[in-house]
Amino acid sequence: MKRILVTGGDGLLAHALREIAPRDFEMMFLGRAEFDLARPEVMARQLAALRPHLVINTAAYNQVDRCEIERDPSWAVNATGPEALAQLCAARDIRLVHYGTDYVFDGARKTPYSETDPPNPLNHYAAGKLAGERGVLRASPQHLVLRTSWLFGWHPTRTKTFVHTILKTAREGRPLKATTDQASVPTFAPDLAQWTLELIRLGAGGLFHAVNDEGVSRFDWAKIILEEAVQRRLLPAAPPVEPVLSSFFNSAMRRPEYTVLSNRKLSERLGRPAGSWRAGLRKMLARMR
């Protein structure tokens, strides 16, 4: 039986992996207290004790605005930590799966980015994530990096995805605003979990863009969430969403305007389409009822 260690064990993606864990995989889930990416000596000790065949690193410092302020802690988790973990795994002949972000691109183009397009991060979060994925890929050709975007899904306690925020704001009767100048691909966490396990079985290594089909703006994504919620009687009616530009929120961090990723390479390797986030949204809302 293949032993798999999952870091970030209480997060959204780890929960999705836990729910679909196959019987022929022994999956162990560790949170930050047990497996801290900022402490290589702790990681080495856990790898020696647990002796996994494979590590899936779902841990990240993903509060993107705070990364501009907490630069050293975020860099330790997003950049040097994954690189150290990748080297520890390579030395023990352990495969590593790591997750990157669409934010590594600057958004200057308006057609989907492929794995061969050159990154150009605009902020500290993106720079750290890019350094992390490069460190992982340098450590071993067997390691796998999956770039993803706008992750969402049901979780028993984690309720801070964009879907949760839109529904909570609507229920409280507060004004809804969403940006028209940010576009990417919402990605359903259970789909990403499923692709991860399939790519592990296929022995895939290297870099893949792992997102659902169809890019969308934050504004249109918000409207679709509300429409689907009304159809499932989670809301009595869809309130209006005011279109705004990113500058409205006065963020100190530069955000790329367009980071839609192409999932062609992923679909070809899986031998099937990656599937639509719309179907994932309906599944999530059904569970929220």
The C-alpha atoms of residue 22 and residue 249 are separated, in whole angstroms, by 43
> Which positions are catalytic?
125
Helix axes 40-50, 81-91, angle to 10 degrees: 30
The C-alpha atoms of residue 144 and residue 206 are separated, in whole angstroms, by 5
3-state DSSP call for residue 40? helix
Q: Please list, in sequence order, all residues whose beta carbon lies within 8 angstroms of the beta carbon of residue 107, skipping any fewer than 6 positions away.
A: 122, 255, 256, 257, 258, 259
The C-alpha atoms of residue 234 and residue 159 are separated, in whole angstroms, by 15
**Cα dihedral 92, 94, 98, 104 sign:** positive
The C-alpha atoms of residue 112 and residue 156 are separated, in whole angstroms, by 33
DSSP class of residue 114? P
Distance, CA of 25 to chain centre? 22
Residue 233 CB burial class (10 angstroms; 0-12, 13-18, ≥19): exposed
DSSP class of residue 213? B
Nearest to 213 by CA among 177, 180, 187: 187
Distances (CA, A) of 251 to 64, 68, 194, 247: 11, 11, 34, 7
